[in-house]
Amino acid sequence: MISGMRLVLLGAPGAGKGTQAKILVEKYGVPQISTGDLLRAAVAAGTALGKEAKSYMDKGELVPDSVVLGMVEERLKQDDCKKGYILDGFPRNTKQAEALDKMLSSLNMSLTAALSVDVPFEDLMKRLTGRRTCKACGQMYNVYFNPPKKEGICDKCGGELFQRDDDKEETIKKRLEVYNAQTAPLIDYYGKKGILKSVSGTGSIDDIFKKVCNALGLK
């Protein structure tokens, strides 16, 4: 049933959950709520919460959960969230998940599902460490799945391909380890609540979307 699609999206970096969220948004017309976007918008607009968030960001500190939660609450009260929403990038740990449940119940809402897009570790490593970008035109490649015709050279403009520091093996391993340590317990948390839906994130984008729709009971 679409009228109550209140989703939390779970999945490691590189699992493709952002792509799936985008298709859900396009097909079912529910907003995707990214805490990163909310923070940037609130800071730019100079709202009370935005000013509070900025004071932490300027010091290079993490914005406290209470501030992020306040922004999520303000966003969920808007009209376009009445028929549902997709939360992306929040909650990141069980403490945030508990706070979110509390806040939702104060709004007489509850989540309908936590959707986990599961991809094996080796595949994630290939997807992320295999990325190469053209220095000249910005075209992206993946040496495993979408390699250039000539190694290290862009098919489009003949420019030099490079690997961003963010995509180096050590960095990616760290990101995945942090994700596993913090976010894996959420799988357990939502599993115990009986709202966890897991789909395999391997295969074509369309195949995965079919699995997502089946898991969520969407027509």
> Stretch 166-189: mean pLDDT, rounded?
92
Q: What pLDDT, on the 0 to 100 scale, is given for residue 125? A: 96
Per-residue tokens: 100? 């979110």
> Stretch 199-216: mean pLDDT, rounded?
95
> Stretch 56-78: mean pLDDT, rounded?
92
Residue 1 has pLDDT above 80, yes or no: no
> Stretch 157-170: mean pLDDT, rounded?
95
* pTM (predicted TM-score): 0.84
Segment (H or E) for 148:
none
Contact 144, 40 (CB under 8 A): no
Contact 202, 121 (CB under 8 A): no
Distance CA 78, CA 99 (A): 20
Residue 215 has pLDDT above 90, yes or no: yes
Residue 63 has pLDDT above 60, yes or no: yes
Catalytic residue flag (residue 131): yes
CB atoms within 10 A of CB 118: 14
Catalytic residue flag (residue 6): no
> Stretch 70-86: mean pLDDT, rounded?
94
Catalytic residue among 102, 164, 168, 174: 164
Catalytic residue among 83, 92, 126, 173: 92
Contact 28, 218 (CB under 8 A): yes
Q: What pLDDT, on the 0 to 100 scale, is given for residue 3? A: 53
Catalytic residue among 6, 131, 197, 211: 131
Q: What pLDDT, on the 0 to 100 scale, is given for residue 2? A: 44
DSSP annotation of 170 = H
User: Domains in the chain, please, with CATH?
Assistant: 2-30+83-119+173-216 (3.40.50.300)
195: CB partners within 8 A, 6+ apart: 111, 112, 113, 114
Measured between alpha carbons, how far is residue 75 from residues 12, 50, 105 in Å?
A: 25, 13, 15
Catalytic residue flag (residue 17): yes
Per-residue tokens: 17? 């959950």
Distance CA 141, CA 145 (A): 8
What is the rounded average pLDDT for all residues in the chain?
93
Distance CA 219, CA 210 (A): 10
Residue of 150, 154, 157 whose CA lies nearest to 141: 154
Q: Cis omega before residue 91 (within 30°)?
A: yes
